Amino acid sequence: HSDVDLYRGEEEIQKELQDKLFLPELEVSFFPSAAVGEAQRSVSAAEDLQTYSEREWKGNTTKSLLIRKGYEAIASEFNLRRVRGDNYCALRATLFQVLSQSKQLPAWLHDSDISKWPKEIQSDQDSIKEWQFPFETSKSKVQHLEQCLELLKKRWQETVQCKSLEERERMCLQVFRGHDEEYELLEALKFLMLRTAIHLHSDMEKGSDVPEFCWLLFARDSSKCPKTFLTNHLRHVGFSGGLEQVEMCLLGYSLQQTMRVVRLYKCDTEEFITYYPNDHKKDWPPLCLLTEDDRHYNVLIPKKSFKFDEDFVHPPDRRKSYTPRMA
């Protein structure tokens, strides 16, 4: 199995972004006249699942047969977009689905001046000083996070306002090029996760009802509170590690989106289809992702409009409202 062209390590990301520091800052149109080349994309063009499976999972090992069976189960309903695997992949796949699929802004984004949130958290928690960005910046960390959040709101608004699928496709391709803007949007998602973790932990301390995943998130010795969650986990996402399953729940909760993930290596088990988080399946928009190993995530694109739970019936008893287990 090989996806070498899409997998990059922390050093390669740093080098690419550092190289740009020596270039003059340019005003780049969001609709450039030249098409974005395939090699530049951090999310590939859509391709047939069955073809991809047969190309990447040759042989008759137990794992190859299982993964191919999983692909075959969904190949009639979905196409695949491969996502660059640089430890941001879960965030990147989620962001792509948000920008390419959202029909409207979530209430928290429509009604709030989110650019004020970093300063508020820094005043209350004094934790923003630990933030690390994958690029150099002359701004303070609070100011740069404000910029990241403003950019997220702007891009989300622009894609929702697109008049056609073709226009939205062009806009998404301009975002997912591996440039600074893309990483700013991914860091914005990480900030939203921190803010949500702070609010949920506060609710837990007050004895208020919280989603079940919160008890798992803060039961870990390495993340007993939001500050240690940031220090030991979140600040390393994109650099030396990706998101764990319980953190996928936090991401979905932060965005008010339900991630429906096809986990290919769980084919023939009740965890083949899982939900992050599992308590808003009816009222939050769905984002469809795919993973072969709970480490790298790709994007699933429906071939036609259908209701995932009603029409995706292979196998009929494989849908599970998933709560991640502690290791």
**Residue pLDDT tens, the chain, 327 long:** 444 344 445 555 555 544 433 323 222 222 232 344 566 899 999 999 999 999 999 999 999 999 999 999 999 999 999 999 899 999 999 999 999 999 999 989 887 789 999 999 988 777 898 899 998 888 999 999 999 999 999 999 999 999 998 999 999 999 999 999 999 999 999 999 999 999 999 999 999 999 999 999 999 999 999 999 999 999 999 999 999 999 999 999 999 999 999 999 999 999 999 999 999 999 999 999 999 999 999 999 999 754 444 444 334 334 444 444 433
Amino acid at 205: E
The reported pLDDT for the residue numbered 127 is: 82
Estimate the share of the chain in helix, then strand, then coil, as percent rounded to the nearest 5: 50, 10, 40
The reported pLDDT for the residue numbered 36 is: 46
The reported pLDDT for the residue numbered 311 is: 42
Strand order of the sheet with strand 273-276? 47-48, 78-81, 297-302, 286-291, 258-263, 273-276
Helix (H) or strand (E) holding 276: strand 273-276
Pairing of strands 286-291, 258-263: parallel
Q: Is 48 helix (H, G, I), strand (E, B) or coil?
A: strand
Q: What is the pTM of this model?
A: 0.83
The CA-atom distances, in angstroms, between 317 and each of 41, 262, 276, 323 are: 37, 14, 19, 17
The reported pLDDT for the residue numbered 237 is: 97
Backbone angles phi, psi at 149, to 5 degrees: -70, -40
**CATH (residue range 43-313):** 3.90.70.80
Query: Can you give the residue ranges of every domain in the chain?
Result: 43-313
Contacts of 208 (CB under 8 A, 6+ apart): none
The reported pLDDT for the residue numbered 233 is: 96
Backbone angles phi, psi at 301, to 5 degrees: -115, 115
Which residue is listed with tokens 């403003």?
A: 150
Pairing of strands 297-302, 78-81: antiparallel
Which residue is listed with tokens 């491969």?
A: 82
DSSP states of 70-94: HHHHHTTTEEEE-B-BSS-HHHHHH
* Catalytic residue ranges: 86, 89, 296
The reported pLDDT for the residue numbered 39 is: 61
Contacts of 283 (CB under 8 A, 6+ apart): none
